[in-house]
Amino acid sequence: MKDYSVLKTKLADPAITGLAGDRARMGALNAKTIVAKVPIPVIAIEKYLAASHKYIPIVDSVDTNAREATLALDKFTSFDTSNPTYLATLTTILDNLVTLNLLTSADKTYILGMADTMISWSEQNWSGDITLEDIAIANGVA
User: How sure is the predictor about 52, in pLDDT bands with cuts at 50, 70 and 90?
Assistant: very high
The CA distance from 115 to 117, in Å, is 7
Residue 72 above 70 pLDDT?
yes
Mean pLDDT over residues 31-40, rounded?
Answer: 94
Provide the 10 A C-beta neighbour count for residue 69. Answer: 25
At 137, the pLDDT band (50, 70, 90 cuts) reads very high
Q: Residues of the chain with pLDDT > 70: what percent?
A: 99
**Would you list the domain boundaries of the chain?**
4-36+129-140, 39-114
Chain-centre distance of CA 121, in angstroms? 14
What is the pLDDT, as a whole number, of residue 1? Answer: 72
Helix axes 84-99, 105-113, angle to 10 degrees: 160
Q: Mean pLDDT across the chain, nearest whole number?
A: 94
The b/e string for 114-128 (b: 16+ C-beta within 10 A; e otherwise) is bbeeeebbbbebbee
pLDDT at 126: 92
Whether pTM > 0.85 for this model: the answer is: no
For the residues 30-34, what does the mean pLDDT come to? 96
Confidence of residue 123 (pLDDT cuts 50, 70, 90): very high
Contact by Cβ (8 Å): 112, 98: no
